Amino acid sequence: MRVAIIGTRDSGDLTVEQIIPYIPQNCSEIISGGAQGVDRLAEEAAARLNIPMKIILPDYETYGRTAPLERNKLIVERAALVLAFWDVQSRGSANTLAYCVQTHTPFKIITLDSPQSKRGK
């Protein structure tokens, strides 16, 4: 099963050890977007579990400023399951989850404490 791991770039105190339990035993590939934060932790989880990793980078040459959103669609289309480690504020993650709903792709949201809430904003 191909599993996409997405989420906020500011993952706060989230660790790879907290991500690993959510990855299904039958995961055959981890897919992510190559950004900072959750995407980097996904890469580390794949390495620790010896699961192949597919990084889908934004194609700015083709899509310009909408490249990250187009990349997010490709991530969802490749995945059988999307795990979203989300602070409920990241617009990119919200966009990706909306595309999951639109395409009927299964997803699970794991909510994170946002840095703003920790600062009292």
pLDDT of the residue at 117: 37
Residue 118 pLDDT grade (very low, low, confident, very high; cuts 50, 70, 90): very low
Kindly state the tokens that stand for 85.
């480690």
Kindly state the tokens that stand for 5.
């791991």
pLDDT of the residue at 121: 36
Question: Is 36's pLDDT higher than 50?
Answer: yes
* pLDDT tens-place string over residues 52-65: 999 999 999 999 99
**Alpha carbon distance 53, 32 (integer Å):** 8
Half-sphere exposure of 100 (CA within 13 A, CB side): 23
**Alpha carbon distance 90, 35 (integer Å):** 13
Residues 6+ apart with CB under 8 A from 57: 33, 34, 71
Q: How far is CA 115 from the centre of its chain?
A: 18
pLDDT of the residue at 113: 74
Q: What structural domains does the chain harbor?
A: 2-116 (3.40.50.450)
Q: How far is CA 119 from the centre of its chain?
A: 24
pLDDT of the residue at 25: 96
